Amino acid sequence: MNAILPNSPAARDIAYYVHPQTNLATFRNEGPLLVARGQGCRIVDDGGKEYIDAAAGLWCASLGFNASERLARVAYEQMKTLGYYHTFRQRALNVQIDLVEKLLSLAPVPMSKVLLQCSGSEANDTAIKLVWYYHSAIGKPEKNKIIGRKNGYHGNTVAAVSLSGKPDMHAGFNLPLPMMRHTEFPHYYRNHEDGESEEAFATRMAEALERLILAEGPQTVGAFFAEPVMGAGGAILPPAGYFAKVQAVLRKYDVLFVADEVICGFGRTGNWWGSQTYDLKPDMISCAKALSAAFQPISALLINDKIYQAMLSVGEKGAAFAHGYTHSGHPVTAAVALETLRIYEESDIVNHVRRVGAYFGGKLAKLAEHPLIGDARGVGLVHGLEMVADKKTRRPFEPMGKAGAILDRHALRHGVIVRVVGDRIAFSPPLVIDEPEIDEMLRRLRLALDDTLGDLSAKAA
């Protein structure tokens, strides 16, 4: 790494900024990767080196890293007309109305209303509050426990990160909140027993959820949250039959189902929604990230009529719905999101993802022949590779994350940015990626895998 010069951008960054999800001690010594510009699926650092970003930033840059003139013009025109106004206390904006109407028309199951926020964390935090609000409105305030999944991820606000099953994100913050619970991690490759089929594994996962609900008391369990594909868990697909079995358990015990579509929504899985890919019937749907292709901070929570009618009943008793954010329905973010949805439709992004996703999956299956790779699977443009110490027995590296850290370093050196979760490589490239770019991305990754194998072999010798 180059020396950090006094008063350079890197030195100033170290001096003044706290980076999220970063080891602060390591950062203080090494400094940042300073990103200067973006073009398509690539970013360029301040030294001129370019990288293919196989994670679309944080799963979100669905149209790449530089806004089209079209989106820039929409934001500019909206700023000229009305750069800000709120939607509190019955104020409405035409562009906000157009956006929520469009979202409801795209919903995978019938939904009644939309709440707008700025991030996926806020959308899920709002959903958590509405679980409590709903049950209080119908006279069951004791149904306040909410179940997430181990290694699931739903955001970084206090409630959303408590619901997330990521102990590293709880440590040091006195979390999780006491009403949050976590059921089993449905990672078939890593957690199935010898000879156990995906269907049998899914049955075991659903039975574990039912046991948890019964142990807590069904009268105290208000909701279950799940991502259609688990993103921060490592691009983990649900095993065959999993959601059908889980939803049957939820119906049996009158537990609300919230689908976290923050990553999966708007084409990522080869459908508009992950809920369509896996036949989910949620009561609420949270979405963000690709909603504006990450060019503006916006999220949405879609709620069904059962939830809305309970909310309405509170208003009929004279109480206001005392929730909202300063930027809820912000006109500029809403305008960019609405135009992004039009771009998706005009470019037929869903069919594009299906085509290139199948190509990507085929190439990854070939890459899975590499000595380090034990598992390769995915859907649409979200895929995962798992590195193992022994392919036959699925024996992981010890300590976990050892191989992943080495791979991450080599990948960066070869000009490809991947999302490493432990020893698993998660892919979620921009939805606009094409076959030649996939080939180049995987060529670079193979070089990184070869270098990682060399390092691990040398250490083992």
What CATH number did the domain enclosing 259 receive?
A: 3.40.640.10
Statement to judge: residues 86 and 53 lie in one domain:
no
Q: Are residues 285 and 388 in the same domain?
A: no
Please give the chain's pLDDT, 461 residues, in tens.
Answer: 568 889 899 999 999 999 999 999 999 999 999 999 999 999 999 999 999 999 999 999 999 999 789 999 999 999 999 999 999 999 999 999 999 999 999 999 999 999 999 999 999 999 999 999 999 999 999 999 999 999 999 999 999 999 999 999 999 999 999 999 999 999 999 999 999 999 999 999 999 999 999 999 999 999 999 999 999 999 999 999 999 999 999 999 999 999 999 999 999 999 999 999 999 999 999 999 999 999 999 999 999 999 999 999 999 999 999 999 999 999 999 999 999 999 999 999 999 999 999 999 999 999 999 999 999 999 999 999 999 999 999 999 999 999 999 999 999 999 999 999 999 999 999 999 999 999 999 999 999 999 999 999 988 76
Domain that holds residue 333: 70-346
pLDDT at residue 1 in the model: 53
| Residue 207 and residue 170 share a domain | yes
Tell me if 210 is assigned to some domain: yes
Annotate the chain with three-state secondary structure: CCCCCCCCHHHHHHHHCCCCCCCHHHHHHHCCCCEEEEECCEEEECCCCEEEECCHHHHCCCCCCCCCHHHHHHHHHHHHHHCCCCCCCCCCCHHHHHHHHHHHHHCCCCCCEEEEECCHHHHHHHHHHHHHHHHHHCCCCCCCEEEEEECCCCCCCHHHHHHCECHHHHCCCCCCCCCEEEECCCCHHHHCCCCCCHHHHHHHHHHHHHHHHHHHCHHHEEEEEECCCECCCCCECCCCCHHHHHHHHHHHCCCEEEEECCCCCCCCCCCCCHHHHCCCCCCEEEECHHHHCCCCCCEEEEECHHHHHHHHHHHHCCCCCCCCCCCCCCHHHHHHHHHHHHHHHHCCHHHHHHHHHHHHHHHHHHHCCCCCEEEEEEECCEEEEEECCECCCCECCCCCCHHHHHHHHHHHHCCEECEEECCEEEECCCCCCCHHHHHHHHHHHHHHHHHHHHHHHHHHC
Residue 114 lies in a domain: yes
Total structural domains in the chain? 2
- One domain, residues 49 and 155: no
Instruction: Please indicate, yes or no, if residue 15 is contained in any of the structural domains.
Output: no
Domain membership of residue 121 (yes or no) is yes
Read off the CATH number of the domain in which 376 is found. Answer: 3.90.1150.10
The pTM of the full predicted model, rounded to 2 decimals, is 0.96
Is 154 contained in some domain? Answer: yes
